[in-house]
Each structure stands twice: as structure tokens, then as C-alpha cells.
Amino acid sequence: MTEIEAVRFTVDGPVARVELYRPASLNAQTPQMWERLREFGRELRGDVRCVVVTGAGASFSAGLDRAVLAGGLAGELAALSDEDGEARIARFQEAFSWLRRPDLLTVAAVQGHAIGAGLQLALACDFRVLSLDAKLRMPEVSLGLVPDLGGTGRLVELVGYGRALELCLTGRAVGASEAVSMGLATLAVDGGDLEGAVGDLVAALLSAPRDAAIEAKALLLGAVGRGAPAQLEAERAAQLRLLRGLAGGA
């Protein structure tokens, strides 16, 4: 299998589907797969409203393929200048960050393991639907590294600083029920019901008018970084845009 075949993309009307397809290695990720994800995000059709991210086989993703690190990626990055090294990692980050765009609603369907980069990919999505056998881990610190694909900020947003720090420093596994209770996941279902639950969620998300959904996501994405006056101002501006759009349509 080539690296191009290791990530599969389909588009059906307003819904795109991204599938990591290396089931024999529990969908372990490589920089080449990240480049494919980055390209797909950049080339995605404008009429797509929802993206579902899945992994083939028994697990969502076991994280970065250890063979990549053993093959010299760590040394290669360490040998670069600060500017070039950060630019290279920024390109990796773009493989995940497009899933946070305000014009898209994104859902991770997670079964089995979501470890390291696998968990960070799931965290990049707006929603995470887990099978009851799911195990989530962020073990980078135990390897002498840190999560660098957007996972640190998302963890703090979802579970708070203290819990995020505990998960990163211990690298412990979080089961599906605990993940839901701490806000790390949206819901957990039996494995056989995972596809149906994701389909129901996607249908509910698509029932919202697109312009209102985009404005709402943009407001919520920016809420943490804004002070109260700035958030109120952003709400006013968004509401006026929507009202004018409705009036023009009428």
C-alpha cells in the first residue's frame, strides 16, 4: 500500500468522509499521511458542510508510526534551524487544524485506540463519538516529547488545565465512559451502533441553516480568547449579518 492509499477520501453531497486506512498497523500515522490530510482540507469543495473522520479496522489510530521516529524524523527535525524546524511542524499541524474551520462541522468516529497523534486528530474535530471499547491516551511526554498537533489547547478547552496536565503527564488510558463524563467525548455507544450514532449526529448538525451554523461556531471558537465586551460585540455583528441575510432572502 502506498502512503496515498493510506488515507481515503469520499464526498457525498454535503458530507465528506476521511478514513485512515492502515488497519494492519492500527492506522499509525506518517508525515506523508499528514500531507494528504492537509491537501484534502485545502482542496475541499465549498458545498461540503460536514466532515466525518474514521479509522479502518479495530482502532481509530495508534498515533505516529514509531518506525518514522526510528527512521530519523526526530533527528532530522532537531538538525533544522528554529525557523525551518517550526515551519516543518507547522505544516504537520495544518493536517489537523483545517478541521476547526468555522464553515465545517467535524465528527470523529472513534473505536479502539486513539493514542497520541490519533487522539489529537480526534480532538481537532468538533465532536467525538466513541465506541464503548475506545481507549484514549496522550503519551508523548513519556517519550520525552509534547503533543504538537494542536492537542494541548484542545485538551484544556475540553477538560480544564488540571485534568489536561494529568492526562499529558501520566499518559494514562481514558475509557469511553470516563471520556464522556469529563467532556472529552460527545457520547459513547456500542461498537455496532457507532456508524448509526455518527449518522444521526451528522443529520442533526445539517438541519441547522448553514449561515447560522457558521456564525455560531465562529462565535464559540473565539469565546475563550475574547473578553466579555468583545464577545458581546462579536455576537451583535454576527446577528446583524444573519438578520440582513434573512431580510434579503425574504
Reported pTM: 0.95
Q: Per-residue confidence at 3, pLDDT binned at 50, 70, 90?
A: low
Q: Choosing from 140, 178, 195, 215, which is the catalytic residue?
A: 140
Q: Is 195 marked active-site?
A: no
The CATH homologous superfamily of the domain defined by 7-206: 2-enoyl-CoA Hydratase; Chain A, domain 1 (3.90.226.10)
Q: What is the mean pLDDT of residues 96-119?
A: 98
Closest-CA residue to 120 (of 91, 150, 97) = 150
Q: What are the domain boundaries of the chain? A: 7-206, 210-249
Asked whether the predicted pLDDT for residue 1 surpasses 60, the reply is no
pLDDT digits (tens, 9 = 90+) for 152-199: 999 999 999 999 999 999 999 999 999 999 999 999 999 999 999 999
